């Protein structure tokens, strides 16, 4: 951190911990704490766009997963849960809301009469196309706070770190 910059909240917390617990290495808090704060701020900024379309973050994710599936823009609920990393119970609530809004439909699977298929409706596809366009414009605005070189370096670092986290067992995870 530059010495001429004012201390941010994480730096102030670290200074307190260095004073109170000089025996503990609090350096990781500089990265983790800032990532945590940044993730919260990014979520707030992204949700503003979703809200303009009457969507929650989770509903936006479901519509995106259906749109990415390609024509005919449908997936089984379990597949949607896997593509959005939420539980099937949470997925059911999201699908119910989207169905009530006329953005998706549910039908029995042709292959398995017990299975269901969720599909985008015409209005659902129109809405997610508009919302996703605004979403990408918003993400560009947020990323443009960095230089292209900084953004590329950050993406490389985050990709490496995420890969390591996803391929190792960490304490507290089962």
Q: Which residues contact 78 (CB under 8 A, 6 or more apart)?
A: 88
Count the Cβ atoms, other than its own, within 10 Å of residue 127.
Answer: 22
Q: Which domains does the chain have, with CATH numbers?
A: 35-146 (1.10.10.10)
Q: Are 27 and 13 in contact (CB under 8 A)?
A: no
3-state secondary structure of 108: strand
Distance, in Å, from the CA atom of 123 to the CA atom of 54, rounded to the nearest integer, reads 13
Share of the chain above pLDDT 70, in %: 91
Minimum mean pLDDT range among 9-18, 83-92, 139-148: 83-92
| Residue 16 reports pLDDT greater than 60 | yes
Q: Which residue has the higher pLDDT, 66 or 109?
A: 66
Give Dmax over CA atoms of the chain in angstroms.
66
Which helix (H) or strand (E) is 93 found in, with range?
helix 88-100
pLDDT digits (tens, 9 = 90+) for 41-68: 999 999 999 999 999 999 999 999 999 9
Q: Which residues contact 118 (CB under 8 A, 6 or more apart)?
A: 62, 66, 74, 75, 76, 77, 80, 95, 104, 105, 106
Distance, in Å, from the CA atom of 65 to the CA atom of 17, rounded to the nearest integer, reads 43
Cis previous bond, 72, omega within 30: yes
Report residue 2's pLDDT band, with 50, 70 and 90 as the boundaries.
very low
Would you state the structure tokens that stand for residue 81, as one six-digit string?
A: 């849960």
Distance, in Å, from the CA atom of 66 to the CA atom of 109, rounded to the nearest integer, reads 16
């Amino acid at each position: 951190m530059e010495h001429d910059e004012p201390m941010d909240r994480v730096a102030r917390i670290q200074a307190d911990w260095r004073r109170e617990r000089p025996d503990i290495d609090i350096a990781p808090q500089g990265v983790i704490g800032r990532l945590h704060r940044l993730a919260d701020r990014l979520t707030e900024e992204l949700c503003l766009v979703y809200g303009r379309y009457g969507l929650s973050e989770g509903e936006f994710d479901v519509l995106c997963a259906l749109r990415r599936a390609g024509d005919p823009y449908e997936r089984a609920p379990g597949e949607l849960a896997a593509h959005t990393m939420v539980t099937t119970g949470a997925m059911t609530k999201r699908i119910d809301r989207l169905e009530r809004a006329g953005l998706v439909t549910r039908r029995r699977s042709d292959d398995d009469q017990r299975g269901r298929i969720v599909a985008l409706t015409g209005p659902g596809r129109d809405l997610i196309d508009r919302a996703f366009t605004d979403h990408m414009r918003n993400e560009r605005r947020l990323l443009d706070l960095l230089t292209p070189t900084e953004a590329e370096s950050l993406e490389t670092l985050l990709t490496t770190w995420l890969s390591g986290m996803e391929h190792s067992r960490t304490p507290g995870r089962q």
